[in-house]
Structure 1
Amino acid sequence: MPFDSIPGPGPEPLAQRLRTEVQSGAAVLPVDPEGHAARERIRSRALELGFDECRFTTADPPARGPFLERWLAEGRHGRMQWLARRVERRTDPRKVLPGASTLVMVAVSYGQPEGFEHGAQGSVGVVARYARALDYHDWMGERLRALAAFVEEIGPAGTRTLWYVDTGPILERELAERAGVGFVGKHTNLISRRWGNWLLLGEVLTTWALPPDQPEHNRCGRCTRCMEACPTGAIVAPFQLDARLCISYLTIELRGPIPVELRPAIGNRIFGCDDCLAVCPWNRFAREGRLMRQYGRPELGSMDLTSLLELDEPGFRRLFGQTPIARARYSGFRRNVCVALGNVGGPECRPALERAAQDADPLVAEHARWALARLRERGL
């Protein structure tokens, strides 16, 4: 789960700046005379490969770059120290690929078909929607590699490319906004008028100067549903996320104990959280993407918590090894399951928690003891 969300200057000043740059040419490098036709060839190839969106922007530094440094200085990235490394590259794509002129921004929708129910009841664990599939880094990466090769093939001699799928030092949400894929909402995620906010992003950087698409501007209006829906108050202000409070961070990126005061708010979420995304009114346009139909594993949406706690490590790898859930690691996943059982489990889960409380892994044992105490508080 990418955490390139940073505090920004607010939607309209940024959107106005982007529109002015594009209209004035200030953000546009000289382009190939046949660039418009080439751009459409690349866009067609991206759609052939299965991407749901493909749009273009310049490799100019993101406008929100300066705010990243403040976000890091405030410690809002928690223990994700990798975000603080090589900040200068995150704030300038041209330092990632020297000579870069254009970014080809692609998106895959992971919206669910009509009738899909968010969340689940009883002693079951809920997994974030994007993780209910084979790992997108793999199958999006294969297609980005093919798209990058196509750009080099049809581009001028010496054209170079570099691709990432939420793995490189790129502030991809702002760049996707600048390319017109969507706009960054108050929850700091990208929202598309065509796909809602269920989007996975990737990009190809290239030295080939191609004409940019028009940027999108913010369309949140007065809506604050995402902020009100966050169980832990992680969206501390419009367009500002404190990752240390975010359930996605707590259940995926955090390697140690989950803060005790935040555990009750996690509910039955065992990998990630969709609450701020699920309430966005733009989701009325959400559709299931083609690639997610191919690689989805809907059975991962809700699973019996007691059975998950009893999984051994080989069983964990067999069940989740090719999915994003593997990122939580065996220890962290069982920690999450213990917290969920403490919040929603019934008396039937007590024996499994008692065994886990004696586990050789101190992280699991401590969270199991907390869950048992939580059951007692709930009169179970």
Structure 2
Amino acid sequence: MLNSSEPGSFRDALSRKAIARGFDCLGVADPGAIGEAANYFRAFLDSGAHGDMDWLAAHAERRTDPRVLWPAVRSIIMLGVNYGPDEDPLAILQQRTRGAISVYAQGDDYHDLIKKRLKSLARWLVASAGGDVKVFVDTAAVMEKPLAQAAGLGWQGKHTNLVSREFGSWLFLGAIFTTLDLPRDAADTDHCGSCRACLDICPTAAFPAPYKLDARRCISYLTIESKGPIPRELRGAIGNRIYGCDDCLAVCPWNKFAQAGRETKLAARENLRAPALAELARLGDSAFRALFARSPVKRIGRDRFVRNVLIAIGNSGDSVLAEEAERLLTDDSALVRGAAVWALSQLLPRDKFAARAAAAISGEPDASVREEWSCYVVRAFAGTTKP
């Protein structure tokens, strides 16, 4: 068994084992190191900026202090896996008839991959130095980003995401809680300076101030976490983003030091780099599950995904795609039908849309969809169907 009382040799061995298991960086933080981030988090919840993500507030005390989550913890090992893209994530935004899927979701689900690696490293840790362990990867009440900063892996930028001087914006994080008292790493410091690139690029103005996020306006929240219709005033700004958004990550100047990820399972699948909106709009439930097998996209379900696709279709400016929206007016899901109405309101000439609405409203069983029709009929007669 390794002697954990010899900090240098043990830490070197821990780092080697982590790298051998596919991690790209490692640091150790004190369980009480969240500090001021806890106050930011409470203010975030108090303002309601978390939207419908009630699970964030459910165990707030655990998130703000890991010792509440597990009183026995004495050290937190934070680990990162680089998933840097091999092409510009913003380029797809110019291809309006194709869907933009966030870089992290174009490959296999990172949760499964990283959790296996964490468990393997944790087993080695126990066998080598003793103690008890718990592993977490974005699935429990753990504030990974402040802990990663405390462990020296990077800092939380003005967009609230972690930024690394070595890997830019592209790190998946995992944590090993241990009862061992391990040597701490020095916390990283903020290197954003006067840069505002991440704040200024946000299409929906989701950052009311530097280091503050209103999730209710964030495209990642709207296309992934939000279960209902996307607010009308934000639909146009979503563009062709159908699952998540990388704008604030991709524009960060620190990405000049980033490198493409080395894990093939996290690499983009070719059929998810720039999928055609017309093909995605035709996905039924079984085809959706088959296309996104082992992908994080699968968890939002077919209906929410097609809702997103229809918003992108409405933003495409391609009248040919109106046929896909027309077909989905009779979909079993009211969420999909409502999004199809909006897409048509953006693509059809005003007179054609108004005529189509007159035939559809009386037969629509869902009140929210009827309201969607009525809203845009009024706009059409007023001379506009925007937004």
- Coarse TM-score class (shorter-chain normalised): 0.7 to 0.9
Name the residue aligned to 1:259.
231
Equivalent in 111, 118, 124 of residue 144 of structure 1: 118
The reply to whether residue 118 of structure 1 matches residue 91 of structure 2 is yes
The reply to whether residue 161 of structure 1 matches residue 133 of structure 2 is yes
Which structure has the higher relative contact order (CA within 8 Å, separation 6+)?
Answer: 1
Structure 1 residues 36 and 59: alpha-carbon distance in aligned structure 2, compared to 1, 3 A threshold: farther
The letter for the 2-side match of 1:341 is I
The reply to whether residue 283 of structure 1 matches residue 255 of structure 2 is yes
CA contact (8 A) 1:61 1:91 kept: no
Equivalent in 44, 49, 74 of residue 21 of structure 2: 49
Distance (Å, rounded) in 2 between the aligned partners of 1:254 and 1:153: 43
Equivalent in 75, 78, 82 of residue 48 of structure 2: 75
Residue-pair matches, total: 348
Name the residue aligned to 1:177.
149
The letter for the 2-side match of 1:108 is V
1:98 deviates by 2.2
CA contact (8 A) 1:51 1:291 kept: no
Distance (Å, rounded) in 1 between the aligned partners of 2:91 and 2:265: 17
Q: Deviations over 1:102-121 (max 9, x none)?
A: 11111111112367763241
1:66 deviates by 2.3
Q: TM-score, normalised by structure 1?
A: 0.88
The letter for the 2-side match of 1:129 is V
The letter for the 1-side match of 2:106 is R
Equivalent in 94, 97, 109 of residue 67 of structure 2: 94
Q: Deviations over 1:38-64 (max 9, x none)?
A: 222111111000111111111115111
Deviates more, 1:142-151 or 1:291-300: 291-300
Distance (Å, rounded) in 1 between the aligned partners of 2:229 and 2:245: 18
Name the residue aligned to 1:235.
207
Name the residue aligned to 2:360.
none
Gaps of 5+ in 2: 353-387
Equivalent in 321, 330, 334 of residue 362 of structure 1: 334
Q: Deviations over 1:278-320 (max 9, x none)?
A: 1100000111122256654243121000110111110000000
Name the residue aligned to 1:25.
none
Deviates more, 1:93-102 or 1:46-55: 93-102
Distance (Å, rounded) in 2 between the aligned partners of 1:178 and 1:72: 22
What secondary structure sits across from 2:17 in the alignment?
helix
Equivalent in 297, 304, 312 of residue 269 of structure 2: 297
Name the residue aligned to 1:11.
none
CA contact (8 A) 2:283 2:302 kept: no
Deviates more, 1:291-300 or 1:59-68: 291-300
Q: TM-score, normalised by structure 2?
A: 0.86
CA contact (8 A) 1:52 1:289 kept: no
Structure 1 residues 145 and 296: alpha-carbon distance in aligned structure 2, compared to 1, 3 A threshold: farther
Q: Which segments of structure 1 move beyond 2 Å, counting only runs of 4 or more?
A: 113-118, 292-296, 376-380
Equivalent in 111, 125, 132 of residue 106 of structure 2: 132
Distance (Å, rounded) in 2 between the aligned partners of 1:207 and 1:337: 47
- Structure with more helix by fraction: 2
Distance (Å, rounded) in 2 between the aligned partners of 1:116 and 1:336: 18
CA contact (8 A) 2:110 2:266 kept: no
Equivalent in 32, 38, 42 of residue 65 of structure 1: 38
Q: Deviations over 1:147-174 (max 9, x none)?
A: 1111111123xx1111111111111101
The letter for the 2-side match of 1:212 is R
CA contact (8 A) 2:261 2:267 kept: no
Q: Deviations over 1:321-345 (max 9, x none)?
A: 2101112211100000000000015
Name the residue aligned to 1:104.
77
The reply to whether residue 222 of structure 1 matches residue 190 of structure 2 is no
Gaps of 5+ in 1: 1-30
Structure 1 residues 206 and 65: alpha-carbon distance in aligned structure 2, compared to 1, 3 A threshold: same
What secondary structure sits across from 2:263 in the alignment?
helix
CA contact (8 A) 1:110 1:292 kept: no
The letter for the 2-side match of 1:76 is A
Name the residue aligned to 1:199.
171
CA contact (8 A) 2:28 2:185 kept: yes
What secondary structure sits across from 1:105 in the alignment?
strand
Alignment of 1:30-41 (within 5 A): 32-41=4-13
Deviates more, 1:219-228 or 1:338-347: 338-347
Deviates more, 1:245-254 or 1:85-94: 85-94
Q: Deviations over 1:338-367 (max 9, x none)?
A: 000000151221221111112121000000
CA contact (8 A) 2:31 2:73 kept: yes
Equivalent in 205, 209, 215 of residue 181 of structure 2: 209
State which structure, 1 or 2, has the greater radius of gyration over its C-alpha atoms: 2
The letter for the 1-side match of 2:146 is E
